[in-house]
Structure 1
Amino acid sequence: MALIGADGKQVAEQEAPKIEFPCENYPVKVVGKGTDDFKDLMLEIFEVHAPGFDYAKVMVRDSSKGNFRSMTVYITATGEAQLKALHQQLKDHQLVHMVL
């Protein structure tokens, strides 16, 4: 099936970039409720799926009103199955709003 752009011309389909595994410093961002235990609970999940990640590289930011907290963790991605399982467990957590 051909894709047609806004100008009416056919455009080529682009494939998503391929990740070569293992992929060091793969960023996973989690956005959720700004609770005191958010960071610790999320790090427990990361430790299950990507043990040995560098805790020193974990970045946490609070929203201006403190209602939300975002956290970026850099892991060594070992494969699609690992990433899918990690994303699913994060998304299923009651404190999480979004996983990127």
Structure 2
Amino acid sequence: MELTKDSAIEFPCDFPIKAMGLSTDPIENIFTNIARKHFPHMKSFNIKRQESSGGNYISITIIMEALNREQLDNVYRDLSAHKKIMMTL
């Protein structure tokens, strides 16, 4: 395991990443395409979907097997830059 100087996270680790957007947008497809780009070693993703009470928004959470901090930074950067992704956690 690798413990980085800037983080208390030990790598590799399972790390949940959440993206939110309008339920009418293909948020899950956008998220999984970005995830595949940054986590090519993962063959499948554990995906959790949650719609808002009014059905207007959706959140998608994927548990990523992060190998290093750079992977996490890059996936967050790409998700945040996408115009259909309203928020990431």
The answer, yes or no, to whether TM exceeds 0.5 is yes
CA distance in 1, matches of 2:21, 2:73: 19
Q: 2:38 — aligned with what?
A: 49
The alignment status of 1:18 with 2:8, answered yes or no, reads yes
Unaligned 5+ segments in structure 2 are 1-5
User: Which runs of at least 4 in structure 1 moved beyond 6 Å after TM superposition?
Assistant: none
CA distance in 2, matches of 1:87, 1:36: 19
Normalising by structure 2, report the TM-score: 0.82
Is contact 2:27–2:60 with CA below 8 Å preserved after alignment? no
Number of residues paired by the alignment? Answer: 83
Letter paired with 1:97: M
Unaligned 5+ segments in structure 1 are 1-15
Is contact 2:12–2:65 with CA below 8 Å preserved after alignment? yes
Q: 1:34 — aligned with what?
A: 23
Percent identity over the alignment? 31
Normalising by structure 1, report the TM-score: 0.74
Q: 1:58 — aligned with what?
A: 47
The alignment status of 1:89 with 2:85, answered yes or no, reads no
Q: Summarize deviations over 1:64-84 as a string: whole Å, max 9, x none.
A: 122111011001111111111
CA distance in 2, matches of 1:65, 1:91: 24
The partner residue of 1:76 within 65, 80, 86 is 65
Q: Which has the higher contact order (CA 8 A, sep 6+)?
A: 2
